[in-house]
Amino acid sequence: MEMKIPPDFEIDINTIKGFLDPIEGAALHQLAADASDLGPSLEVGSYCGKSTVYLGSACKRMDSILFAVDHHRGSEEHQPGEEYHDDELFDSRTQLMDSFHQFRMNMRAADLEEHVVPVVAPSVVAAKRWNTPLGLVFIDGGHSLEAALNDYRSWARHIVPGGFLAIHDIFPNPEDGGQAPYEIYKLALASGQFERVEMVKTLGILRRL
């Protein structure tokens, strides 16, 4: 993807916890800029806000809005005893994982509070009464098949014609990673409503027909 608007942050992106490759992040930044004339952007799965800064900084430059949907209780792999658990994000008072405090601090440090709207709720709950057409949906939520299917079915239908659907962590080879994001990527293509634009590392980019 041609980078027409390079990322420009008020925060050191490397200080934000997260798993997004900078090349994928730059592609998301450009997508959010390209989609801004079509409608606001929305991401599913914000964690501590690394992808949010890439997307939100483009929305800020284009005077658009990013909705950041996350319950901030972590996916399966973030829970105690799991591979990606982080003790710094575990709230000993509630005995629950909670990334929202870190997320909000990062949005403030990145000067994005006027362009990023946190939606602190499970994806399917946030989508129940959603009526706003979207120029971009980025899916990077839970990686179980159930969670990925719920995210796709909840949000892809709100993308306007010409808008983008981006799905993170696509691994066609099962030996490289989990298959749920790849399954919804294939489902979107098979629906006849989306066309392939580009694959940037593990980020699949589709356009709504």
Active site residues: 143
- CA distance to 55, 137, 178, per residue, from 68 (Å): 10, 10, 23
* Residues contacting residue 116 through CB under 8 Å, at least 6 positions apart: 52, 56, 59, 65, 66, 68, 107
Residues with Cβ within 8 Å of 84's Cβ and at least 6 positions away in sequence, in order, are: 19, 77, 78
